[in-house]
Chain A
Amino acid sequence: MTVTAAMFYLFAVLTVGSAVLVVTTRNVVYAAFSLMLTLCSVACLYVMLHADFLAATQVIIYVGGILVLVLFGVMMTSGKLDMKLRMERGRLIPGSLVGLILLALLIRIIYQSPWQVQDTNMLESTTKSTTQSIGESILGQYLLPFEIVSVILLVALIGAVLISRKEVKEIEES
């Protein structure tokens, strides 16, 4: 086993293991911290795929931004949200049965399908930064999706303001 493969399996186990912990733990803070581990390991996987820009973005946005927000949210609502998360176990068996069948199907697809793979050796390929080509694509071929994303974000922003403002109003009046 090469070093690359060993590292890949390390990060893969970390990703999946901590993701399982996120959904199984009953403590919100633990869940948030395991989520951080998941997101960081995914960033490491990106690095191994030579997607350096993506990895940096993942760390800055998900780990640095969203996760800190989640933790803040937990902190601010502590006491209110200190409830035990109840998990419904009634549908555990049919749910996992469907999940397992789907997993088997997907594994079969992953191994059987003729994927379009670029045949480059990871270690030998030139370690060129992807930032430049991403920048060029965003202002070239992918300009329209890029601009549309900005409109979507605007819509989401307005929505968030609208919904939170309602709650403020309620508190003032009550």
Chain B
Amino acid sequence: MDNIGSLRYFLPELILILFAVGAIILDLIWRKSSARRMPWFTLIGLLLAFVAVLSLRPEARLASPSLFEGMIELDSFSLYFKALFLVSAAFIVLFSIRTTEIASVIRGEYHALLLASTVGMCLMASASNLLLAYLSLEMVSISSYILTGFRVRHARSSEAAFKYVFYGAAASGTMLFGFSILFGLTGHTGLREIAASLHQLFQDATPGVSLAAIVATVFVLAGLGYKIASVPFHAWSPDVYEGAPTPITAFLSVASKAAGFGLLIRFFYTGLAEPITATTTWSVIGDLDWQLLLAVIAAFTMTTGNLLAIQQDNLKRLLAYSSIAHGGYMLMAVLLLTQSGMQATLFYLGVYLFMNLGAFLVVILIADRLGSEDIAAYRGLSSRAPFVAFTMTVFLFSLTGLPPFAGFIGKLYLFAAVIESKLYWLAIIGVLNSVISLYYYVRVIKTMYLDEASTETPLQLPALYRVLLFALVIPTILLGVYWNPLYQWAAAALIRS
């Protein structure tokens, strides 16, 4: 579709950009009252964009147009991701209102950057051209670097931002090198054209194609793997997660990771695979066996994340490692190239949003009240703030994958999809990892319920936090018993290549 015609379908992103620019300008006009008004202004923008996303759903399912001369796709797949990004961005805005960590330095720019980052993520999930894939990834990265280093005179925050920039630059540079090899081989930057051209090259058995294609895939994986924090590109994440302001950590671990998965799925399913039957199953192009590559990476990612999480005493760091492990679980289902694998991944991303944001909200809340992120600070929390302790227990059990919470259903679908594809060794590693993760999640719960608190003074909860905890704990429980609506939405969002 041409540029002017595409604008209508680009409405969510346009709204977000408009509000991002608006936030900067209004910050100058409102001045003192900006801190009070800006979150609500941002929320209106996110809400409008969300409505726009929902209104595009029927059209995406019927026509699925390719927009802006083939730069981005408007399909149910990208809309599902956009909805995830917008919901998590809205939660992050609400998280940031009261937190003492950054409330004093928050200005319009914070919200503008958050919105810009969300736009980048929306583009990542819908990019169908290497050029735009790279640009959207950079857009998310650059705004994340700044948000990570947002705290004034905070050594850890600055160090985290610094490390993030260096890792990011190296990773995206490597990815660009991979893109250039792919472009050299096929002469195209559009993912569909690349797939068609690779198919032809493999069919003609042109010598030298496999090696170049495999090296290109590994290079591209450096950039994508860095975004989803998979081994061996995960080393940045614990430091960045610990140093960044906690709302931003939550944003990175949920939305940024989901965006990485969106682009990864788009790249591998559209660019390096071809559908066998209509819309259900895919196969890799030629003898380019990237499935095994991803399987090994997934196994290492889960295991590394979980084994390192055991040793952590800082809850934020623990959640960082656990987030690496969850990336591994999802990667396990992504590489299957089956409908059930895709559906399980999308569903898990949705579930993961609520439970992980919930866990981080408790971290924010406790850090706010007690000034510490160490697990030791959670001693006897059950008697000081029973509601917080209860919700944290729900989130952690759900992250472990215990019934009757949403995480259980999510993991059930993931493992079922893996077993369906007869990758038994991977499924066994996955289950073993879930058992390991039980240990460190339950350790936190044990600290909250069985250990004696140093004081018995009850913790005061601001009403906003109470509402937010409710808003996150209800879906976590509800999706564990009645998950069909989200699962159906995930089913409808399957990618069409």
Residues of A within 8 A of B (CB): 105-106, 108-109, 112-116, 140-145, 148-149, 151-152, 154-156, 158-159, 162-163, 166, 169-170
Report A-chain residues with C-beta under 8 Å of the C-beta of B131: 142, 145
Tell me which of A112, A154, A156 contacts B208 (CB under 8 A).
A112
A109 touches B68 (CB 8 A): no
Candidates B113, B139, B185; contact of A158 at CB < 8 Å: B113
Q: In the complex the two chains form, is A112's CB within 8 Å of B212's CB?
A: yes
Contacts of B209 in A (CB 8 A): 113-114
A-chain residues with CB within 8 Å of residue B481 when the two chains form the complex:
none
CB distance from B154 to the nearest CB of A (A): 10
- Residues on the A chain within 8 Å of B211, using CB: 108-109, 112-113
Q: Write the B126-137 contact mask toward A (1 if CB under 8 angstroms, else 0).
A: 000101100110
Determine if B208 and A113 form an interchain contact, defined as CB atoms under 8 angstroms apart: yes
Task: Choose among B24, B146, B206 the residue that contacts A114 (Cβ–Cβ < 8 A).
Answer: B206
Give 1 or 0 for each of B108-127: 1 = CB within 8 Å of chain A CB: 01001100100100010000
Query: With the chains together, A113 CA to B187 CA distance in Å?
Result: 13
Given A144-B68, A151-B119, A156-B142, also A114-B153 (CB < 8 A): no
Taking CB atoms, residues of chain B closer than 8 Å to A159 are 113, 142-143, 145-146
Hey, which chain A residues are within 8 Å of B71, CB to CB? 142, 144-145
**In-complex Cβ contact of A113 among B68, B150, B185 (8 A):** B185
Which residues of the other chain, B, contact A148 by a CB distance below 8 angstroms? 123, 132, 135-136, 139
* Bound CA–CA A9/B212 (angstroms): 25
Residue of A nearest to B208 (CB): A112
Return the chain B residue nearest A159 by Cβ. Answer: B146
- Which secondary structure dominates where chain B touches chain A? helix
Other A-B pairs beyond A114-B201, A148-B123, 5, CB < 8 Å: A106-B215, A112-B208, A152-B138, A155-B142, A159-B142
- B181 in contact (CB, < 8 A): yes
CB distance from B455 to the nearest CB of A (A): 35
In the complex, what residues of A have CB within 8 A of residue B206's CB?
A: 114
Are B207 and A144 in contact, CB atoms less than 8 angstroms apart?
A: no
Complex Cα distance, B72 from A151, in Å, reads 17
**8 Å CB interface, B3-42 against A:** 3, 6, 17, 21, 24
Q: Which of A142, A144, A149, A158 sits near B146, CB closer than 8 Å?
A: A158
Looking at chain A's contact residues, the main secondary structure is helix
Sampled A-B contacts (30; CB under 8 Å): A106-B215, A109-B215, A112-B207, A113-B185, A113-B209, A113-B211, A114-B185, A114-B208, A114-B209, A115-B184, A116-B184, A144-B67, A144-B69, A145-B71, A145-B132, A148-B132, A149-B135, A154-B21, A154-B116, A155-B113, A155-B142, A155-B143, A156-B142, A158-B146, A159-B145, A163-B146, A166-B152, A169-B152, A170-B152, A170-B153
Q: Are B187 and A116 within 8 A (Cβ)? A: yes
Please indicate the chain B residues that have their CB under 8 angstroms from the CB of A149 in the complex: 135
In the complex where A109-B208, A142-B131 touch, is A116 in contact with B185 (Cβ < 8 A)?
A: yes
Residues of chain A lying within 8 A (CB to CB) of residue B184: 113, 115-116
Q: Considering the chains assembled together, what is the distance between the CA atoms of A1 and B209 in angstroms?
A: 31
Q: B149 in the interface, Cβ–Cβ < 8 Å?
A: yes
Q: Is B383 an interface residue (CB 8 A)?
A: no
Contact check, B68 vs A155: say whether CB atoms are below 8 A apart: no
Q: Is the CB of B208 within 8 A of A143?
A: no
A116-B123 in contact (CB<8A): no
- Proximity string of chain B (417-455) to chain A, C-beta cutoff 8 Å, 1 when within and 0 when not: 000000000000000000000000000000000000000
The residue in chain A whose Cβ has the minimal distance to the Cβ of B154 is A166
Residue B109 contacts which of A140, A152, A162, A170 (CB distance < 8 angstroms)?
A162
Report how far A22 CA is from B132 CA in the complex, Å.
31
Roughly how many angstroms separate A108 CA and B208 CA in the complex, as a whole number? 9
B186 within 8 A of A: yes
Looking at A105, A142, A155, the one whose CB has the most chain B CB atoms below 10 A away is: A155
A158 lies within 8 A of B208 (CB): no
Bound CA span A162–B181, Å: 37
Q: Which residues of A contact B136 (CB under 8 A)?
A: 148
Find out whether the CB atom of A116 lies under 8 angstroms from the CB atom of B181. Answer: no
The chain A residue sitting closest to B147, CB to CB, is: A159
A17 to B357, CA, bound (A): 51
Instruction: Specify which chain B residues have a CB less than 8 angstroms from the CB of A105 in the assembled complex.
Output: 215
Judging by beta carbons under 8 Å apart, are B142 and A152 in contact? Answer: yes
Q: How far is the CA of A112 from the CA of B212 in the complex (A)?
A: 8
Q: Which of chain A's residues have a CB closer than 8 A to the CB of B129?
A: 145
A116 to B119, CA, bound (A): 34
Q: Tell me the minimal C-beta distance from A170 to chain B in angstroms.
A: 6
Q: Which residues of B contact A142 (CB under 8 A)?
A: 69, 71, 131
Shortest Cβ distance from residue A118 to the other chain B in the assembled complex, whole angstroms: 9
Contact residues in B for A143 (Cβ distance below 8 Å): 3, 68-69
Within 8 A of A (CB), among B142-162: 142-143, 145-146, 149-150, 152-153
Asked whether A158 lies within 8 Å of B68 as measured between CB atoms, the reply is no
B185 neighbours in A (Cβ, 8 Å): 113-116
Q: Verify B149–A163 contact, CB threshold 8 A.
A: yes
Q: How far is the CA of A151 from the CA of B146 in the complex (A)?
A: 15
Across the interface, do B24 and A158 meet the contact criterion of CB distance under 8 Å? yes
Q: Which residues of B contact A162 (CB under 8 A)?
A: 109, 146, 150
CB distance from B65 to the nearest CB of A (A): 14
Task: Return the chain B residue nearest A160 by Cβ.
Answer: B146
Closest to A115 in B: B184
Q: Tell me, in angstroms, the Cα distance from A166 to B151 when the chains sit together.
A: 9
Q: How far is the CB of B99 from chain A (nearest CB, A)?
A: 18
Chain B residues contacting A166 (CB-CB under 8 Å) are 152-153
Enumerate chain A residues within 8 angstroms of B143, measured Cβ to Cβ. 155, 159
| A59 CB → nearest B CB, Å | 22
List residues of chain B with CB within 8 A of the CB of A115.
Answer: 184-185
